[in-house]
Structure 1
Amino acid sequence: MSDISKTPDVYRDLNHDPVASERDIPTISDHSMDADELALVALGYKQEFKREFSLWTIFSLSFAVLGLLPSFASTMAYGMGYAGTAGMVWGWIIAMLFIQCVAAAIAELCSSMPTSGGLYYAAAVLAPPGYGPFAAWLTGWSNWIGQISAAPSVDYSLAAMILAAVSVNNPSYVPARYQTFLLTTLILIVHTAISTMPTRWIAKINSYGSVVNILALFITIAAIPIGTLNVPKFNPSSQVWGDIYNGAEFPDGVAVLMSFVGVIWTMSGYDSAFHLSEECSNANVASPRAITMTATIGGIIGWFLQLVVAYTVRDIPSIMASSIAQPWASYLLQVMPQKTAMTILALTIICGFSTGQGCMVAASRVSYAYARDDCFPFSRIWKQVNPYTKTPVNAVIANGVLGILMCLLIFGGSTAIAALFSICAIAQYIAFTIPIAIRVFFVGNRFRRGPWHLGPFSRPIGGIGVMFVLLMLPILCLPMDIGSDLTAQGMNWTCLVYGAPMLAITIWWVIDARKWFKGPKVNIEHELYTSSTELHLPKL
């Protein structure tokens, strides 16, 4: 059994576009291999999944995970609540420019190393000699925490919107916490069941979900200005672009940066295509294309949605203080007739279901990839691929159970459950940044690119993305209130909810894990990137 962590330098010997060379490919006599399998085998893994995702279907799942409409609805309290309309329109533009840099850098890594392990695998093989296992350990656990918290946070928001719809139609009804928890649990169970299906079925379901997401976005963007009851219909541009409703006790500039948490959380699903690359045909081109398509299209359409809301919203304080306790529903009722508002809310709920489903699938592939390398206790159970569905059913079920347990935070109140959103954002972007930073600042031009790459702009773009994430890390941990106004209820618990597990994981590494965890374990014998003899794979 070969160990990638022992030979990280081989990735830096050449700066060729081809993903593999002929000597990279071990001899497997039981069948002939196509280009995708050859590329995967060159990375050290045996093909175990069926490659039934195409560029469209893998983009569909990635876009479904992004879930612009339900994600915006779920995080409206951050964008609008921290910095008002100016923060929404300017904040989205600024944050998206930097997020595009992060997405492009990830796509480049994906083209070079299209494996389910994704960022974790890249961190292991690109790290300086001797540091590969530790880089993989931190990246893997941070990415895993972010992935498994995504579906619970989406499904909690979905449950809150459903119960908000009930409250609108029955004003005397006030959802109890246990009801929110039970509904969230039910949605998680349904998503878990769907995610155990064969890849072909999952691809079709998410393809339909993506179409619904896109249609719902355009319907919403068109319906709000048409159906608004406001007179005049639109706020003046000077107000939209210039007025900052500062919902935090920090200077306006910091409040705008704090509003980025909504953009970051919304735009943290584009890496799903990386984790599904072992199930995608023409993976070293299709998967990175899906990543950049998701980030770019999502960024543009998302900004138009921000503009529509910013130009039509009337009273931000009343939305934030509404008894419905769901800002998106409160906003819709403020500017539209109730029937129209409920129709848009229903579309958002349908899209939210698709988003949660995509998150569950992506998280299961991450859990499978890490269990394949024995990162978890009882990994032999979680890494099993079901012989009938050809999907990691055990990993899916484990993630579903963990998601239900995480939703127990609902009983701690709004502040506690809000930590799910922050932890998802911060965990994902730390995992994004580690391999990008290694590639930019340590590997440099020795990085062996895949057929999809950024050319001479690779290092500058990656460096900008890393700097943005480093700036945002402390911002994501700031509370709304400071000084004597800061209470336990108003505290931002992201540092604790994310920091405590990561501290424990680091201590585990120092005490024990470093003795046995050596990075990604490949399941075939191979020679990895040791020859300049080229194997011609699909090009852009």
Structure 2
Amino acid sequence: MSAGESHKTPLKGSVYTDISHDPVTSILPEGDVPYTDHAMDADERVIVALGYKQEFKREFSLWTTFCVSFSVLGLLPSFASTMYYGMGYAGTAGMVWGWLIAMFFIQCVAMSMAELCSAMPTSGGLYYAAAVLAPPKYGPFAAWITGWSNWIGQITAAPSVDYSLAAMILAAASMQNPDYVPTNWQVYLLTTFIMIIHTAISCMSTRWVARVNSWGSTFNMLALIITIIAIPAGTSNEPRFSSSKEVWGTITNLTDFPNGVAILMTFVGVIWTMSGYDSPFHLSEECSNANIASPRAIVLTSGVGGLMGWFLQLVVAYTVTDINAVMNSDLGQPWASYLLQVMPYKTALALLSLTIISGFSMGQGCMVAASRVTYAYARDDCFPLSKYWKMVNPYTQTPVNSVILNGVMGILMCLLILAGDTAIGALFSIGGIAQFVAFAIPIATRVFFVGHRFRKGPWHLGPFGPYIGGMGVAFVLLMVPVLCLPSVTGSNLTPDLMNWTCLVWGAPMVMVTIWWVVDAHKWFTGPKVNVEHAIHAVSTTAIIDSVGADEDAGQEPEDDASIKAPSTK
């Protein structure tokens, strides 16, 4: 699609198309243009140019989109849920250095994703980008693998968050009554109850979903700031803080691997915590000024989240006194154990309560983002019974069926709670590995196969895009095997200590790959265009496109002709 202003020449019986929009990279064939019989605003022109009808109300702004993604990030509850992977693998040095190193490369991935989002602001997100950017013969397969990996990561997010939330609630009950020891069944039933509430809220209209997530994200940020200030101010330890030499230089390696590998293993917590910044991509069809606001929300989420998350790491690293006691407490929740170790009882309970409320908001954001991904893939018939999951509720104008599907699947996945901590813990690693593999495929294609032929949107990285993307892809390739490592080896490795990520994520991916080879390659062709466009016969269509606008946007004009007539069957 060329960018520029459209000019209409009155012709009797004509159907006119206004495609004046910022550049997009579309699934539509070269020279093909969509058409419609009504005037379109800038956002609708962009989504139509990508081959889709405008089906949602655009009631998300930059701020509310950021609020959803920041809620999905949920720094405080995410850190509370993954302390075992940071402090528990390499101690305080692993926490502070691991976060810094990982965040540099995660920022590379986030910025490259934002560049793709600006060029292709659609709910399909990375799946759509993989299909468009891959070589023609491999586009459908790239979309298939990207889509399934991303979907697996998305649908495990809310269950893992809600499981952690239930564990924190019951840990608070144990703090009140030391004789109470939660059972796995109680954790499962509470998790299910929370999942049902999140499903109900996510079925509401876009305006109310945006409002609920705005409130939750605001509370999330306030709770995080309060916690970062309250811990160093209220710690009851003597001495109050550990020395910088101990914090930055002492690696408490609690794994069977060398120190360097142990630090790499701490990245699991960082990756899982920071895997929610793709949410603006999936909400872009509900966001106004999407090809600018959505990529900005991605970068804002990763940048603000990375900085504030590191501050939280520092606060905990400087105040913790006994790492083994935190990891092995009878409470069964390291964050609650840590708070009791460094704070007076009432203050610890108050901060745990803030974390619980923030966790509820985080789970809600995860449910919303996952439902949009399910809808987008069902729209392209990726799933069995897709015709039901891609339906948009006429009253709420949201994908209610997709929300309910994700809620039911999340409740079923939480049955892993009954198999023990290691089994349910696999959901955390799955979320990290599945999401980052999906992030890396379209970025790698853009860097190594498309290169400078990639058509940038209004938000882009300029000449640095391929280099930044390359660093992000290299990081993902390094981390995929690391995310599958157990913390112990040899005779210490037992089934209950095994890292089951390779099986729980790898098995479904092997199955969908076999499905592709056996059957899906016959009918799955990638994103399905659902808007009328030029390859369909029309009465008369005149489209006069300004080539100069392409030059102004820094793009090479695709056609010397200033008048493009659509082809007909």
TM range (shorter): over 0.9
Report the aligned-residue RMSD: 2.0
Q: Is the 8 A contact 2:123 2:372 kept in 1?
A: yes
Q: Distance in 2 between matches of 1:233 and 1:462?
A: 42
Partner of residue 317, structure 1:
324
2:90 equivalent to 1:83: yes
Partner of residue 483, structure 1:
490
Query: Scaled by the length of structure 1, what TM-score is found?
Result: 0.95
Partner of residue 437, structure 1:
444
Q: Is the 8 A contact 2:35 2:532 kept in 1?
A: no
Deviation at 1:27, TM superposition (A): 2.3
Which one-letter code corresponds to 2:97 in the other structure? W
2:212 equivalent to 1:205: yes
Q: Distance in 2 between matches of 1:504 and 1:130?
A: 21
Deviation at 1:524, TM superposition (A): 1.3
2:79 equivalent to 1:72: yes
Partner of residue 453, structure 1:
460
Q: Distance in 2 between matches of 1:539 and 1:189?
A: 47
Q: Distance in 2 between matches of 1:18 and 1:373?
A: 23
Q: What pairs up with 1:374-523 in 2 under 5 angstroms? A: 374-523=381-530
Q: Distance in 1 between matches of 2:35 and 2:126?
A: 27
Partner of residue 47, structure 1:
54
The structure 2 residue matched to 1:28, chosen from 26, 32, 36, is 36
2:284 equivalent to 1:277: yes
Partner of residue 153, structure 1:
160
Deviation at 1:526, TM superposition (A): 2.8
Which one-letter code corresponds to 2:452 in the other structure? N
Partner of residue 169, structure 1:
176
Q: Is the 8 A contact 1:118 1:275 kept in 2?
A: yes
Q: What CA deviation, in whole Å up to 9, does each residue of 1:307-342 have, x standing for no partner?
A: 000000000001111000100000000000010000
Partner of residue 6, structure 1:
none
Q: Distance in 2 between matches of 1:33 and 1:402?
A: 38
Q: Distance in 1 between matches of 2:549 and 2:149?
A: 34
Partner of residue 353, structure 1:
360
Q: What CA deviation, in whole Å up to 9, does each residue of 1:131-162 have, x standing for no partner?
A: 00000000000000000000000000000000
Query: Scaled by the length of structure 2, what TM-score is found?
Result: 0.90
Q: What CA deviation, in whole Å up to 9, does each residue of 1:237-266 have, x standing for no partner?
A: 000000111111000000000000000000
Bigger CA radius of gyration:
2
Which one-letter code corresponds to 1:63 in the other structure? F
Q: Distance in 1 between matches of 2:237 and 2:49?
A: 61
Partner of residue 19, structure 1:
24
Deviation at 1:421, TM superposition (A): 0.3
- SS of residue in 2 equivalent to 1:270: coil
Which one-letter code corresponds to 1:168 in the other structure? M
1:434/1:531 CA distance change after superposition, 3 Å: farther
Which one-letter code corresponds to 2:36 in the other structure? I
Q: What pairs up with 1:225-236 in 2 under 5 angstroms? A: 225-236=232-243
The structure 2 residue matched to 1:308, chosen from 315, 337, 353, is 315
- SS of residue in 2 equivalent to 1:489: helix
Q: Give the count of matched residue pairs.
A: 524
Q: What CA deviation, in whole Å up to 9, does each residue of 1:57-95 have, x standing for no partner?
A: 000001010000000000001000001000010000000
Deviation at 1:28, TM superposition (A): 1.1
Which one-letter code corresponds to 1:354 in the other structure? S
2:341 equivalent to 1:334: yes
Q: Is the 8 A contact 1:364 1:399 kept in 2?
A: yes
Identity of aligned residues (%): 73
Q: Distance in 1 between matches of 2:516 and 2:130?
A: 16
Which one-letter code corresponds to 1:358 in the other structure? G
Partner of residue 533, structure 1:
547
Partner of residue 368, structure 1:
375
Q: Distance in 2 between matches of 1:372 and 1:487?
A: 43
2:279 equivalent to 1:294: no
Q: Is the 8 A contact 1:285 1:539 kept in 2?
A: no
Deviation at 1:129, TM superposition (A): 1.6
2:254 equivalent to 1:247: yes
Q: Is the 8 A contact 2:36 2:532 kept in 1?
A: no
Q: Is the 8 A contact 1:422 1:476 kept in 2?
A: yes
Post-superposition, which runs of at least 4 consecutive aligned residues in structure 1 deviate over 2 A? 16-27, 525-528, 530-536
**RCO (CA 8 Å, sep 6+): is it higher in 1 or 2?**
1
- Which has a greater percent of helix? 1
Partner of residue 8, structure 1:
none
Segments of 5+ residues of structure 1 without an aligned counterpart are 1-15
- SS of residue in 1 equivalent to 2:394: coil
1:134/1:413 CA distance change after superposition, 3 Å: same
Q: Distance in 1 between matches of 2:476 and 2:145?
A: 16
Deviation at 1:24, TM superposition (A): 6.0
